[in-house]
Amino acid sequence: MTSHSNVSCSCGTVSLVLTGPAIMTVECMCDSCRAAGRVLASLSGASQVLDLKGATLSAMYRKDRVACISGQGQLREYRLKPESKTRRVVAICCNSAMFLEFTSGHWLDIYGSLWPESRRPVPEMRTMVGDLPADIRLPADIPNAKGHSVRFFVKLLAAWVAMRFRAPQVAFINGELDVHNR
């Protein structure tokens, strides 16, 4: 039996259906996620993607297991730099951050803030804690990997093998997010 989960932007216009289990759920502490999180939080009415520690919670799903079932016309991409291979996708109807995509990768990081708190995915590990200033102390409740751990790469590789080494394109994004005029 295949399980499905739906997540939506805060106003409900954009909905994603997620099929099957997540590859894994992580809290990313990298400089880029923290910088992008601050920019996205500055948008009018935006929801927070960064928690109080500065972590971005995301559930990693295979691209072939994520479909946009409504509101595709509302999705825009944001890149920290024009040449960046990583884009964050926002629903402009309510400025909800929806997911992060490494464009040549085979997975999407669905932002944890899309789930109600009672159903929010539980993180399995923190990644990229080596980007934090030396005086920042994180709880030891889950592994705190300085970079991407072997376990992280093994799980991603296993998902890619299951996809027969495909990296589908995400074609339902409709242009760039103008962060200066929002």
> CATH number for the domain including 30?
3.90.1590.10
Q: What is the pLDDT of residues 118-137, one digit of tens each?
A: 999 999 999 999 999 888 89
pLDDT band at 178; cut points 50, 70, 90: confident
Q: Residue 157 CA to chain centroid, in angstroms?
A: 18
Indicate the pairing of strand 125-127 with strand 24-28: parallel
For 120, the domain range is 4-162
Domain count, the chain: 1
Residue 41 forms part of a structural domain: yes
Evaluate if pTM is beyond 0.75.
yes
Residue 133 forms part of a structural domain: yes
List the structure tokens of 70. Answer: 């409504």
Residue 1 is predicted with a pLDDT of 45
Residue 173 forms part of a structural domain: no
Q: Find the Cα–Cα–Cα–Cα dihedral 146, 151, 154, 160, rounded to 10°.
A: -80
Residue 172 forms part of a structural domain: no
Residue 168 forms part of a structural domain: no
Residue 67 forms part of a structural domain: yes
Residue 30 forms part of a structural domain: yes
Distance CA 149, CA 142 (A): 13
Distance CA 43, CA 179 (A): 7
The residue written with tokens 């880029």 in the block is: 32
Average pLDDT over residues 138-143: 96
Q: Which residues make Cβ contacts (< 8 Å) with residue 133, sequence separation at least 6?
A: none
Q: Is the pLDDT of residue 48 over 60?
A: yes
Side-chain-side CA neighbours of 64 within 13 Å: the count stands at: 11
Residue 90 forms part of a structural domain: yes
